[in-house]
Structure formats: C-alpha cells, structure tokens
Amino acid sequence: MNNLDLSLYLVTNNSEDEEKFLNIIEESLKGGVSVVQLREKKAETLDFYNLALKVKEITQKYNVPLIINDRIDIALAIDADGVHVGQSDMPAKTARSMIGEDKILGVSAANIKEAKKAQRESADYIGVGAVYPTNTKDDATSVPKKELKEIVKSVDIPVVAIGGITQENAHELNDCGIDGLSVVSAIMEAKNPKIASENLLKEFKAKNS
C-alpha cells in the first residue's frame, strides 16, 4: 500500500447513537482525519456489517481509507480498504493471505519483538501504544516514549502512536519519528470533532515539518 497517509488516524467507538456517530466521523474527515478504523467489539455481525457499509459511504466521499478492526469477514464483505489486527486477533500472516496484497494490513505492537514480527508478516504499518494512559481500552499495555522511539527505529514500516493522545499532549511525541497520531476519545468525545481534528493535525504537522 503506497502513499498511505497516516497523519491523523481515527479509531471509532460508541456507535450506539448511529446518527451522532456517523456525524462525528464526517466532521472529523472535514477536519483532516486521514484514516478511519471502525472498531466494534460487541456488535452483532449484521449490525457491524450494516454500520460498516454506512461508514464506507462517508469515507469514500472524502477519499480516505476505511480499515476494519479485527473482523476480516466484515472487511471482505464490504470491500474495505484494509484490516487492523491486534495481538489477540487473527495472526497477521493469516490476515494477509485472506485480504490479499492490495489491501492495507495494520498490526498492533507493544514492543520491538511484536513490531519486527508484524513487519516480517507484511504489515503495512503498526500501531504502538498505549503511549499515554487510556480509558478506551482496558487491557492496553503501557509503552513509554523511550520504547516508542526504539520501536520506530527497529522497523522500516510506518508507525502510528495510540493511547490517550490529546491536543494537549500530542506535542510531547515530537521527536519520536512516528508517521501519525491515532486517537479515539480526542475526536469521538470532542465537543467539536472537526476542530479537534484540525488541531491534532496541526500539532502533528508542526512537529514533522
């Protein structure tokens, strides 16, 4: 996958109020979100499928890739742009063989070993975290800034940082060599998701120019 812009990578949550949910996604895209990952850990398959079709309509309008968390069946069914697998999901190697070479494969990694393995198994990028404490993911391991830097150096593929990143703390990741900021709450729970996205992106572009 060439030219994948990971600058501001939105991972979704809380889709219960669908209208509100879809509106947040659209506003975030107006604000510059460059990748959307749909993450539904408790949804029935049919609900996930139907929601994914609706999100895809929006991401296509903004020409931004839609990545499905964990569920390769959903990704294939709606012809999403890619899948993201964690360490408790389908093995990356298996995921790649299922989605083919042209789709995006992202892998979560919390240390150098996992990062290198993901690269060997043809991940297009890795998501590393949690770089800050987060309430979104109960079981997230903590990755201090020093380790984030080491992980970035250990692989050739792009790295996005995730976990508790806000408009206020994003600048602290300035010197880590990452390719993007990945956020959940900082956009999904923002009063104004468009402005939040603009600010996060500004923060990221500033430090990388």
Please pick, among 39, 103, 117, 194, the residue that the annotation labels catalytic.
39
Residue 67 main-chain phi, psi, to 5 deg? -115, 135
Contacts of 90 (CB under 8 A, 6+ apart): 70, 72, 98
User: Considering only residues 14, 17, 91, 205, which one is a binding residue for a copy of itself as defined by CB under 8 A?
Assistant: 91
Structure tokens at 166: 């806000």
Structure tokens at 128: 């590393």
Check residue 169 for interaction with a copy of itself (CB under 8 A).
Answer: no
Which residues in the 13-42 window bind a copy of itself by CB under 8 A? none
User: Which residues, in sequence order, are bridge partners of residue 117?
Assistant: none
Flag whether 17 is marked binding: no
User: Considering only residues 49, 112, 154, 185, which one is a binding residue for a copy of itself as defined by CB under 8 A?
Assistant: 49
Please pick, among 28, 108, 182, 197, the residue that the annotation labels catalytic.
108
- Span of 1-9, 17-25, 81-89, 156-164 interacting with a copy of itself by CB under 8 A: 81-89
Rounded-to-integer distance, Cα 190 and Cα 32, Å: 15
Question: Are 125 and 162 in contact, with CB atoms under 8 Å apart?
Answer: no
Q: Positive or negative, the Cα torsion across 185, 189, 194, 199?
A: negative
Question: Are 92 and 122 in contact, with CB atoms under 8 Å apart?
Answer: yes
Check residue 98 for interaction with a copy of itself (CB under 8 A).
Answer: yes
Check residue 1 for interaction with a copy of itself (CB under 8 A).
Answer: no
Q: Which is nearer to a copy of itself, 97 or 169 (CB)?
A: 97
Annotated binding-site ranges: 37-41, 69-70, 89, 108, 134-137, 164, 184-185
- Catalytic residue annotation: 39, 108, 137
Interface contacts to a copy of itself, rule CB under 8 A: 44-47, 49, 70-73, 76-77, 85, 87-91, 94, 98
